[in-house]
């Protein structure tokens, strides 16, 4: 009996030590930086402004300045495959920053649903892009969400000054190595000063969703594994279009390839990927659905589809707009934003009601790993929007090129934009019979998606209305 007790006590001690070590791996020293300062920006926003669209939907937009100090972080301990990564601020690395918060919210405070999306703005194209807002805008506007875009990375500066001139002269982004504290300060400020930022009549609790599109989602993967367990700043995350990598902490650090999100995440995460990313990034499909993670692959979808491209063009720098390429084929028109709207609503229910989102099948792969396509060239499996399940076209990825001598801009737009190739009348007749039969089949595809929470009711109605207005080829 004594030996058994000793063994059980020894085991308990080991478990306690292991638990303590696991906590210390994600814990950070106390943050002794000054509290970031928030001040209103005078005049209307210039960069990344969507004021006209927002006004039509009863939303408003305002810009604020946020200033403080941000530190550089280094890895603390090994960064293993389990994602339980530690970080430590580098002594003496604090630098002043001055950035902007672009705030959008319902003009009528009574419509605010209590959730604020805090987007790490994407700078891949050389200017701040609100890619997450683009893909979720329909749901944000109709359901009363607030949104805050944060200029985090130094690559935003040329675009800000090209669009706003002297307005952004005082913006100081010391570099990606200092981005982590900057993003943390933005989230903390939104939570602490929501009444002021969102023009609420009285204080009320808010929930924060971390939002990242493409490169920004890569950085948020690092945030989730290395910062969020200790900071506890967010209530959920929505990642879209990430590569299978976690962003580096600083310039001397390196990406982590094919990372797993840690199993002990304190908050739920929705991850949405298009066929375009999954086709060339096989590790993405091995992302497990867990009690804290839901991973959806959207079949037929492109990274920078026709809608995202048009919305990007609307806020781009003059140089970007002037260099508009022509592509051999029309860009991909599959309404990817319908999947993101469903993902956001599923995340909302997960956060507020504890209802986990549905699990979606992955895209089918052949015996050597490549994606499998049907006779029309559309991929098999994955989350299948009605336009793909009952198609009038082949929705392509990587099959488009610019018509003229390719520039980097042209290659990016046409390749990342995918393609839409209408099916022939003969093929449509073989597959669907006639227009009435196609419409009926489309509704039979859309109804179960709506009922399963994979297509929002408004998008279900829009899909059917668009189909009714679509002419049958002659």
Tokens of 219: 């950085």
pLDDT at 367: 85
Q: How many helices (H) and strands (E) does the chain have?
A: 17, 15
pLDDT at 15: 30
pLDDT-derived band of residue 137, with 50, 70 and 90 as boundaries?
Answer: very high
pLDDT at 29: 56
Tokens of 447: 């109804």
The bridge status of strand 245-246 relative to strand 207-213 is unpaired
Q: How far apart are CA 196 and CA 202, in angstroms?
A: 9
Q: Are 100 and 151 in contact (CB under 8 A)?
A: yes
The phi-psi region of residue 241 (left if phi > 0; otherwise alpha if psi is between -120 and 50; otherwise beta) is left
Q: Which of 117, 356, 347, 327 is nearest to 216 (CA)?
A: 117
DSSP state of 399: -
Give the pLDDT confidence of 8-67 residue by residue, as tens digits. Answer: 332 333 333 333 333 334 455 567 788 899 999 998 888 999 999 999 999 999 999 999
Q: How far apart are CA 438 and CA 365, in angstroms?
A: 28
Q: Which of 119, 128, 136, 109 is nearest to 187 (CA)?
A: 119
Q: How far apart are CA 98 and CA 3, in angstroms?
A: 62
What mean pLDDT comes out for the span 72-76? Answer: 97
Give the pLDDT confidence of 359-399 residue by residue, as tens digits. Answer: 999 999 998 889 999 999 999 999 999 999 999 999 999 98
Q: How far apart are CA 230 and CA 182, in angstroms?
A: 16
Length of the chain: 474
Q: Which of 228, 214, 50, 210 is nearest to 115 (CA)?
A: 210
What mean pLDDT comes out for the span 300-312? Answer: 97
pLDDT-derived band of residue 4, with 50, 70 and 90 as boundaries?
Answer: very low
pTM of this structure: 0.93
The percentage of the chain sitting over the pLDDT mark of 70, rounded to a whole number, equals: 94
Q: Is 41 exposed, middle or buried (0-12, 13-18, 19+ CB in 10 A)?
A: middle
What mean pLDDT comes out for the span 235-249? Answer: 96
Q: How far apart are CA 113 and CA 134, in angstroms?
A: 19
Higher pLDDT, 409 or 312: 312
- Determine the straight-line distance between the first and last CA of the chain, rounded to whole angstroms: 87
């Amino acid at each position: 009996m004594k030996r058994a007790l000793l063994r059980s006590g020894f085991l308990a001690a080991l478990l306690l030590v292991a638990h303590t070590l696991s906590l210390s791996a994600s814990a950070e020293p106390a943050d002794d930086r000054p509290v970031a300062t928030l001040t209103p920006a005078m005049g209307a926003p210039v960069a990344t402004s969507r004021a006209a669209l927002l006004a039509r939907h009863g939303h408003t937009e305002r810009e604020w300045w946020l200033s403080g100090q941000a530190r550089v972080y280094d890895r603390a301990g090994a960064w293993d495959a389990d994602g339980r990564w530690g970080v430590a601020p580098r002594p003496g690395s604090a630098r002043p920053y001055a950035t902007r918060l672009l705030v959008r919210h319902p003009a009528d405070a009574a419509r605010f649903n209590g959730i604020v999306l805090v987007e790490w703005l994407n700078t891949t194209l050389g200017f701040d892009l609100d890619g997450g807002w683009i893909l979720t805008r329909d749901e944000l506007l109709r359901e009363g969400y607030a949104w805050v875009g944060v200029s985090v990375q130094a690559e935003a500066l040329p675009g800000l000054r090209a669009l706003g001139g002297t307005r952004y002269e005082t913006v100081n982004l010391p570099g990606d190595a200092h981005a982590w504290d900057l993003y943390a300060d933005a989230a903390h400020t939104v939570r602490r000063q929501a009444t002021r930022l969102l023009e609420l009549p009285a204080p009320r609790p808010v929930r924060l969703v971390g939002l990242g599109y493409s490169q920004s989602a890569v950085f948020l993967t690092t945030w989730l594994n290395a910062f969020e367990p200790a900071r506890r700043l967010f209530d959920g995350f929505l990642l879209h279009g990430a590569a299978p990598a976690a962003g580096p902490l600083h310039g001397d650090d390196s990406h982590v390839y094919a990372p797993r999100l840690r199993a002990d995440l304190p908050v739920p995460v929705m991850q949405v990927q298009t066929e375009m990313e999954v086709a060339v990034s096989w590790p993405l499909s091995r992302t497990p659905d867990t009690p804290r993670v839901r991973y959806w692959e959207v079949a037929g979808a492109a990274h920078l589809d026709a809608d995202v491209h048009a919305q990007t063009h609307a806020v781009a720098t003059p140089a970007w707009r002037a260099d508009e390429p022509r592509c051999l084929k029309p860009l991909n028109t599959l309404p990817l934003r319908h999947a993101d709207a469903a993902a956001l609503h599923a995340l909302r229910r997960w956060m507020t009601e504890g209802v986990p989102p549905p699990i979606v099948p992955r895209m089918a792969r052949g015996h050597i790993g490549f994606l499998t396509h049907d006779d029309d060239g559309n991929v098999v499996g994955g989350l299948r929007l009605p336009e793909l399940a009952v198609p009038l076209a082949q929705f392509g990825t990587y099959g488009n090129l610019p018509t003229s001598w390719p520039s980097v801009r042209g290659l990016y737009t046409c390749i990342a934009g995918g393609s839409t190739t209408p099916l022939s009348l003969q093929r449509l007749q073989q597959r669907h019979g006639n227009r009435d039969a196609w419409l009926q089949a489309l509704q039979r595809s859309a109804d179960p998606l709506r009922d399963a929470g994979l297509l929002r009711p408004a998008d279900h109605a829009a899909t059917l209305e668009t189909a009714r207005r679509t002419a049958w080829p002659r």
